[in-house]
Amino acid sequence: MGEPIYKIIENHVKELIKTNDLKQGDMIPSEKQLSEEFEVTRMTVRSALNNLVKEGYITRRRGVGSIVLGSKIYDNISAISGFTKEMQNKGYEVSNILVDFNIIEADEELSKKLNIPIGDNIWEIKRVRMADKIKISYMVTYMPIKLFPNLNQKHCIGSLYEYVESICGYKIAISERSVEAIISDVELEDILDLNKKEPILYIRQACRIENGEVFEYSHTYHYGYTLTLNAVAK
């Protein structure tokens, strides 16, 4: 079998929303109508529609129907799309400078954060990120070598997330971030060409692939940058 039918129905409805055939507040065809149109049972249709609910496209009400939610918010719903995509979406030209690329051994903290044994080998990647030729963030990323045996310096120039998904074939599933405001120190001012004591967003993030393994733990220092977040309830 190729693509499962529920996926086909899912994409069909997504397409209707994207092409504006269905707008915010519109009712999508009922389960019965869709099951007749695609000649499948209601259960198959329900599986498609429940996925659309999960992804924030529609909401459903018993006795009423399935309603299209506002698309604006849901456009970039991938809250962990990664920095590169996020900035490109805002119209900036994004590039990375690779500052350091090492293999280190997991200490106690990294072993906890990455959920691997102490002493395991880890890629340590230090990068400065540029938007339109201005340095705006410094990022230190740790990734288990076990998961990425073939990572090299070239991959670090582009989007690491794209490498993880497109080339390695992992599906990025969930991330935990903590966000703090701090004041820059001399080291950071040096790296990012800042004035003294600038306000900085300090973000620590652990990111998992679908099977639950942590594939990345990172520290990021953002200057003059607004983090945009879309959160879905529950």
Partner DNA sequence: GAGTGGTCTAGACCACAAT
Partner DNA sequence: TTGTGGTCTAGACCACTCG
Residues that bind a copy of itself in the complex, under the rule CB under 8 A:
24-25, 43, 54-56, 59, 61, 67, 69-70, 73-74, 77-80, 115, 171-183, 197, 199-202, 206, 208, 210-212, 222, 225-234
User: Could you tell me if 188 and 225 are in contact, meaning their C-beta atoms sit under 8 angstroms apart?
Assistant: no
Least distance in angstroms from the C-beta of 176 to a copy of itself: 5
180 binds, among a copy of itself, DNA, none (CB under 5 to 8 A by kind): a copy of itself
C-alpha closest to that of 122 among 147, 101, 100, 105: 105
Nearest 5°: the CA angle 168, 108, 117 is 50
Least distance in angstroms from the C-beta of 73 to a copy of itself: 5
DSSP letter at 3 equals: S
Q: Which residues bind DNA (CB under 7 A)?
A: 1, 4-7, 28, 30-33, 39-44, 46-47, 49, 60-66
Which residue number, 65 or 140, has a Cβ lying nearer to a copy of itself?
65
Going 99 to 102 to 107 to 112, the CA torsion angle's sign is positive
Say which residue the tokens 């900035």 belong to.
Answer: 87
175 binds, among a copy of itself, DNA, none (CB under 5 to 8 A by kind): a copy of itself
233 binds, among a copy of itself, DNA, none (CB under 5 to 8 A by kind): a copy of itself
Which residues, 6 or more positions from 205, have their beta carbon under 8 angstroms from its beta carbon?
175, 176, 177, 178, 216, 217, 218, 220
146 binds, among DNA, a copy of itself, none (CB under 5 to 8 A by kind): none
Total length of the chain: 234
